[in-house]
């Protein structure tokens, strides 16, 4: 007797344990400055990184991601809220410290929902695709205005979740 294989039920990004493993791998890549690991997490179509919510999206290919902890390429991330000064710097000097900071604190994960503290702007995700928010709620001494959320855009390629975007949200004056 032959058996007809039943295709696996398509999992959603919110219930797929592979996605939590992907975020854990992102954390490991940041804490260990592991470009090879980071590269393996990036979608073949690339990863857009926004340091400021309305800043310049900087696109990286999986190949470029291998070297993001080493390269001194100075990206223009956009204008800083408050000062209006342009933020320029390498991925490892600008983005990595902020991701390391959130991953070294008590954070919560939220699927397709951007958790945030008090905001002076509308907190919106500019992509029409799935994401997870890595949210740090802030601390009482700062009136919880030190909240911080990194949003990780996730898409499936050949059944494997990969990162297509990273975006930073925080309190702005």
pLDDT, tens digit (0-9, with 9 covering 90-100), for 77-94: 999 998 999 999 999 999
Q: Are 48 and 58 in contact (CB under 8 A)?
A: yes
Neighbours of 95 (CB within 10 A): 22
For the stretch 24-75, pLDDT in tens is: 999 999 999 999 999 999 999 999 999 999 999 999 999 999 999 999 999 9
**What is the rounded end-to-end Cα distance, in angstroms, of the chain?**
69
Average pLDDT over residues 82-108: 96
Nearest alpha carbon to residue 136 among 125, 144, 126: 144
> pLDDT class for 12, splitting at 50, 70, 90?
confident
DSSP secondary structure letter of residue 16: -
- CB-based contacts of 143: which residues, under 8 Å, 6+ apart? 118
Specify the pLDDT at position 82.
87
Question: In percent, how much of the chain has pLDDT > 70?
Answer: 94
Token output for 116: 């945030």
Q: What are the beta bridge partners of residue 132? A: 111, 152
Listing DSSP states for 138-173 in one string gives: --GGGTTTT-EEEEEEEEEETTEEEEEEEEEEE---
3-class DSSP assignment, residue 69: coil
pTM (predicted TM-score) = 0.91
Q: Which residue has the higher pLDDT, 5 or 41?
A: 41
């Amino acid at each position: 007797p032959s058996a007809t294989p039943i295709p696996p039920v398509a999992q959603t990004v919110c219930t797929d344990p592979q996605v939590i493993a992907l975020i854990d791998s992102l954390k490991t890549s940041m804490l260990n400055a592991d470009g090879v690991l980071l590269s393996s997490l990036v979608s073949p179509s690339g990863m857009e990184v926004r340091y400021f919510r309305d800043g310049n999206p900087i696109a990286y290919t999986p190949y470029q991601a291998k070297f993001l902890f080493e390269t001194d390429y100075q990206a223009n991330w956009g204008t800083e809220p408050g000062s209006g000064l342009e933020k320029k710097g390498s991925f490892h000097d600008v983005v990595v410290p902020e991701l390391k900071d959130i991953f070294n604190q008590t954070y919560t994960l939220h699927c397709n929902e951007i958790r945030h503290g008090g905001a002076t702007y509308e907190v919106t995700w500019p992509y029409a695709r799935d994401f997870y928010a890595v949210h740090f709620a802030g601390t009482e001494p700062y009136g919880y205005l030190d909240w911080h959320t990194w949003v990780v855009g996730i898409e499936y390629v050949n059944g494997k979740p990969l990162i297509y975007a990273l975006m930073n949200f925080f309190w702005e004056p």
